[in-house]
Amino acid sequence: MGLATLDLLLPSTCAGCGRRGSPCCPGCAAVFGTPRPSGQGGYALAAYDGVARRLVLAYKERGRRDLAAPLGRLLACAVPYLPGARPDEHGTWWLVPVPSRRSAARARGGPHVLGLARRCAAVLAEGGHPSAVAPALELAPGARDAVGLARAQRAANLEGRLRLRPAGAPPAGAPVVLLDDVVTTGATLAASRRALALAGYDVTAALTLTAA
């Protein structure tokens, strides 16, 4: 029996608490609150611990891609209300996902933040906010896994390696919102802002699911 068939026959299990019925039950979703400042001008919906940490790790590292929909919805509910965030002159919200190392993305079955951004954009559009995802950033080869690195080390690790990807860029000068799953030291958000600013984009806000 294939995995797709099993998914149809077996009920989903909440990755936060184990309750059957959905990938993320209402009780676990409730740990993500209103956006709070998280450093580097960014905002986060929850602290990176407990239920929120389990959900993010399940999505990011343990193959629970069914969490893209509920986690993307949480981001979408916050984007229009972020201080300073705005759509472009045509009313379109441009969402830029923070990239992962290519090797990490391959191991996880694809760029996980891109999946969140796409789900976020779809929910925004359903709510009357035209949105588009712009995978405008990429990490050049040579960047190490940032786990365990201090802020200065993370910044040095990204120096010259986080760069614009023209094929995925939004229209010139468009205001953009950065999206990520977790902010730790803020070094990645800072490097992302610099790369986009150098290319002429206005990063109006940065939003993550969690802040460590």
Label residue 207 by pLDDT band (50, 70, 90).
Answer: very high
Percent of the chain at pLDDT above 90?
A: 74
Give the bridge partners for 36, in sequence order: 44
Q: Could you write out the DSSP letters of every residue in 10-28?
A: SPPB-TTT--BTSSS-HHH
Domain membership flag for residue 20: no
Instruction: List the domain range (segments joined by +) for residue 195.
Output: 32-211
Domain membership flag for residue 3: no
* Per-residue model confidence (pLDDT) at position 88: 98
Domain membership flag for residue 4: no
Percent of the chain at pLDDT above 70?
A: 83
80 close to 92: Cβ distance less than 8 angstroms: no
Give the bridge partners for 182, in sequence order: 210
Q: Is the pLDDT of residue 208 over 60?
A: yes
Domain membership flag for residue 5: no
Any idea of the CA torsion for 187, 165, 86, 24, to the nearest 10 degrees?
A: -70
Q: How far apart are CA 211 and CA 137, in angstroms?
A: 21
52 close to 32: Cβ distance less than 8 angstroms: yes
Give the bridge partners for 93, in sequence order: 131
Q: 128 — alpha (psi -120 to 50), left (phi > 0) or beta?
A: left
Structural domain count of the chain: 1
* Per-residue model confidence (pLDDT) at position 40: 67
84 close to 70: Cβ distance less than 8 angstroms: no
Give tens-digit pLDDT for 110-167. Answer: 899 999 999 999 999 999 999 999 999 998 765 545 555 555 555 545 555 789 999 9
Domain membership flag for residue 150: yes
* Per-residue model confidence (pLDDT) at position 39: 73
Lowest-confidence segment of 7-11, 68-72, 180-184 by average pLDDT: 7-11
Domain membership flag for residue 10: no
Domain membership flag for residue 67: yes
Size (the chain), residues: 212
- Give me the CATH number covering residue 169: 3.40.50
Domain membership flag for residue 163: yes
Lowest-confidence segment of 3-12, 32-41, 89-98, 133-142 by average pLDDT: 3-12
52 close to 31: Cβ distance less than 8 angstroms: yes
Lowest-confidence segment of 37-46, 61-70, 116-125, 166-175 by average pLDDT: 37-46
Supply the mean pLDDT for the chain. 88
Q: Is the pLDDT of residue 6 over 50?
A: no
